[in-house]
Chains A and B, each alone.
Chain A
Amino acid sequence: MNAKDIKAVSEMKAELTAPPFVPKSTADREATKLKVDMEILEETGEMADGVEYVYWTFGGSVPGSFIRTKVGDEVEFTLKNHPDNKLPHNIDLHAVNGPGGGAASSFVAPGHEITFSFKTLNPGLYVYHCATAPVGMHIANGMYGLILVEPEEGLAPVDREYYVMQGDFYTKGEFGEQGEQPFDMQKAIDEDADYVVFNGSVGALTGDGALQAKVGETIRLFVGNGGPNLVSSFHAIGEIFDRVHVEGGDLINENVQTTLIPAGGAAIVEFEVDVPGELVLVDHSIFRAFNKGALAMINVTGEEDKDVFAGTIQEGIYLPEGGTIQSMPSDDEDDAKEETAAVELSKAEKMELGKKVYGSTCFACHQADGQGIENAFPPLANADYLNDDVNRAIDIVLRGKSGEITVNGKTYNSVMTAQNLTDKEVAAVMTYIYNSWDNNGTEVTEEMVRKVRKK
């Protein structure tokens, strides 16, 4: 039957979800008159540890609320612009057949709401975004999200579904610069992104925010790219996509390593997770992952399967980096960074600064709780190698390390790059590490760092 001829027989309020969650499948229901109620909020959020940014949002999150519809639905869309907002906004849904994707009909001033309607004709995963002048700025501040139009029978059932959306951000300060960071229009025009992130901020989907799965489950990710500028080379480290709905449409490709997601486009990726461990989702334009934040985690728990994976992680061939500029290991002593005499931080201050440095520099390899990645990156949590010799540890941070080492009885043969950090930052981050995760509580001073640097 032609989608236009499907009659909506009932009426219901749409379930909207904040990322990374998606509403339940539409497979069990008929086409309906679906009432979508969405509020636009301009609000301050955290782009990275200690970095504040003013986001403009659909529904209070970046990306905006996930909308799940099915073919033949008559969507009655109410867009509310919060009275405290400063700007008019609208919404362009790529799922709409009609002028401006609804943008012209949805232009709404602060303190007002507007209702328009459309019928979903084409199944697929679509981006929606604000299209008010200057369009790029509205998108760059986070005004995008995904709307799914399911086929009549619904998408095939899977064990878990998640919502992940990439976006690039342009701030006055460079990556990691602390404090409130305003949007930088010139950088946006130059397409010179400071942050490339999944779900609106660095670390949104790592640590406590990591996605969860169990061995043997099939995962479906609804992946979008809000842009405004950059195209994503979406990849899961340690997993092959069994099926990809290319560009969110009908075409299905199988056994895909990296799928391209255009700005203002989407893809549905599905895969069964075969072994326990952490899968790392990245934009494989790889500096974005390790230096600009485009990194997310899926925590897979369950039984090991040695037939599938015997324990030699190939991903060790990367030289994964944190946000700090790094150089290869070196015996050269000229690298020592000039240090201005400063007052030693208190232990509490070191813990605070150290946590931030860890988040931008160490975390990509050694992981949020210092657990490392087995066979690739040694753990820092309760680690004998670390606790045995503080000067050796300082030396590794300053000069890097390559070759075989044994940590907690396991052998690692990898490369750690020299970190371009100040003495203050090294003292802070190492104090943080030594005073976290059951380590021995050593407080590292700048003097200790200086001594090792001069060695």
Chain B
Amino acid sequence: MSGAANDVYLVGGSRTSFGRFEGDDQDLAEQAVRGALGDCGLAWGDVEFAAGGTNGETKPDNLVSRMGLTGIPFVTVKNGCATGAVALGTARNGLIAEQREIACVVGYDNHARGAFSASPARYGIGAWYGATGMMVTTSYFALKIQRYLHEHDIDPRTLGYVSAKAFDYAASHPLAWRRTPVTIDEALDSDMVNDPLTRLMFCSPDAGGVALILARGPRAFDLCDKPIRLAAVELRGRRPGSFEVFSPWLSPGVRTSPSVDAAAAAFHAAGVRPQDVQVAQVQDTESGAEIIHLAETGLCLAGEQAAGYLDGDYRVDGRIPVNTDGGCIANGEPVGASGLRQVHEVMTQLQGRALGQQVPGDPSIGFTHVYGAPGISACTVLVAEGA
């Protein structure tokens, strides 16, 4: 099997350990890029196009001062939680539009301890909103899942199942951050942050870097035993009716979601159905987000989640293993790296070389989903061919 000229493949990848990091942000990026190049036997001089992103203050395109001044175009992306996926899509498009062969994608961040604090002015909201304690991301997630559990009659204990699953996956993943197993009851009984969400249901901002190497056309098969085709990358923004962070008001009536739109577009572009997916990553900023996003992406029906967790559907040997590296809950969320961590995990699962628990049965179709402020989502479909 050799790739069609405008098919783009993942041929190499690397991630750092996630967690606390004492050092320069770009140490993480450099470590990831060198690891990804080594993974497919390439050198920086082989890279013809690069895209990278961080939510921090460093300039991703300045990585060339460490890697080598080869004169290639390096596009910088800053799209919040969708940064990694947007960088990935940019690199894919760059390879196709400019008929180049090799691209490097990198995402990294090194966040300070504790929840993000946000400025109302950056979101176009008056100072009163922050001063009265409403500019709080944890309360947004809580308000959203509280309503969702009510509308779909889902047992709140399901939130504990999500955390227990995440920490179980992470316990056997050498590069995950929080690797101590947690029981369902421990998750439910931990310190309440925002009803119904407890401390062990939230991810935390932390540090990490991920890089991927893309190759276009037949070249991919020279570089990698099992290239993974990037069958779709789709980014969508919010439409009327979506329920987003930092919203002093919502419209009544039909709820929409950029996740629904991005997932549908990705499945359409790839010619794949949600029920074909054999390993997936969905944005799990907290346990409730995973529950919501499983349905919004089409991986299950709304209201079905409680039974799904009870039945082990999302475990490694279940119907559709989800967030098999522990997701954001156990890896934390270095914003620039997080979306690429998802793609790296699904890529290695499809190649049969997962760092943690390997999905059995040679899965060949994978899916990733990110979601974030101010109402954006990006999804990818990854396909292993010629198995």
Does A pair with B?
A: no
